[in-house]
Amino acid sequence: MQCSDHTRVHAADVMQGVYYLVTNYVPCSLSSNNTRPPPNPNLQSRGTVAQIDAPEGSECASGIISQRMPEFELMALLLAAAMHDYDHPGKTNAFLVTTKDPLAILYNDRSVLENHHAASSWRLLMRADCDFISNVLDPIEYDRLRFLVLETILATDLVKHKHYCLLMCHKVSQLIMLITRLRINA
């Protein structure tokens, strides 16, 4: 049964939203000035995406995420965005676990919906009439794409949100310390 909030329109909306976020300017959150820079006369076009280079000496690279992201990973992110709620039953993980739903039993009460979305959508991609991937990727690329897509879908479990935020803050702190050390040693 398809949940009315998790339809093909929702999948397309999320995929378009992710595409917008990774192909449009994102201000640097490490600097005190989080405003968009004035229009750059040296703007270069990259397809439909404007390229903004970080000013020399800036503390971090503001700009467009997709320009700093390998195209393969961008493809995986967009594919995961389209697949992230596939075959949603319209119930929460907590409800499925509490009611001992067969999906909760199958996935051992852990990220039940996310595991279901990942498994069922990948199963759909493996059907001969839906497989647009295996003939264009070598086996190593295919496995890497599958890993990235599945990990991205599994990361949508909001129970893990705080963990991911703390992990990201730790990585940003490490980056700031590295930049500071490099400046001191320069």
* Residues 147, 72: Cα–Cα separation, whole Å: 12
Please, what's the largest Cα pairwise distance for the chain?
Answer: 61
pLDDT number for residue 38:
46
pLDDT number for residue 47:
37
Q: What domains are there in the chain, each with its CATH number?
A: 8-155 (1.10.1300.10)
pLDDT number for residue 180:
87
Confidence (pTM): 0.72
Secondary structure class of 185 (helix, strand, coil): helix
* Residues 171, 169: Cα–Cα separation, whole Å: 5
β-pair partners for 83: none
Joined together, the tokens standing for residue 45 give: 């076009």
CB within 8 A of 106, min separation 6: which ones? 112, 115, 116
pLDDT number for residue 2:
52
Of 6, 88, 116, 117, the active-site residue reads 6
161 is catalytic: no
Task: State the amino acid at position 142 in one-letter form.
Answer: Y
* pLDDT tens, residue order, the chain (186 aa): 455 666 788 889 999 999 998 888 866 554 444 444 444 444 343 333 333 344 444 445 557 888 888 999 999 999 999 999 999 999 999 999 999 999 999 999 999 999 999 999 999 999 999 999 999 999 999 999 999 999 999 999 999 888 888 898 888 888 888 888 888 987
β-pair partners for 63: 26
